[in-house]
Structure 1
Amino acid sequence: SSNHWVMAWTGLEINTLAIIPLISKTHHPRAIEATIKYFLVQATASALILFSSTINAWQTGQWDITQLTHPTSSTLLTAAIAMKLGLVPLH
């Protein structure tokens, strides 16, 4: 676990990069298509997490995860995590 936004984001991205070769292991066109779609969705969610943490750091002056007090940051972070988890309607 991490208390810093950048370290938490780094952990999520390492996990994403580890899963991509497993998805594309079978060299079938649909597997490649699924890998590309997965990567694009995860990259979008990752950008939202970074944007949310930047807004929060700008408002609070801290990069600490426990200081998530700005409503816009909370909303963006919730949407980004829903995208990373594949929850409806962001799947």
Structure 2
Amino acid sequence: DNTYQSSEGEPSIRTQSVKTQAMIEDGGTLVVGGVYQEVIQNNVKKVPMLGDLPVLGNLFKTRSRNNSRNELLFFITPRIMGSETSVMRY
């Protein structure tokens, strides 16, 4: 998530942009770019109070680690529109 709190308390959004040129055929598909995100979570579940005991507390708690990766790609497929009937078709 790219939403952050500004010093005034209002949310601010971090943006990135790219400028490129490409030549492709009518109906051809172009991959413009994407967003890759990796999330690592470390979790601890424990029995209240017993899980906090030194040395013996490890008998009363469970640790787990979850990794997830997500990728979002942007595809553009341009079509050349010649007449009004071809515009109505799409």
The bucket for the TM-score relative to the shorter chain is: under 0.3
Higher Rg: 2
| Structure with greater strand percent | 2
TM-score (norm 1): 0.24
| Structure with greater helix percent | 1
TM-score (norm 2): 0.24
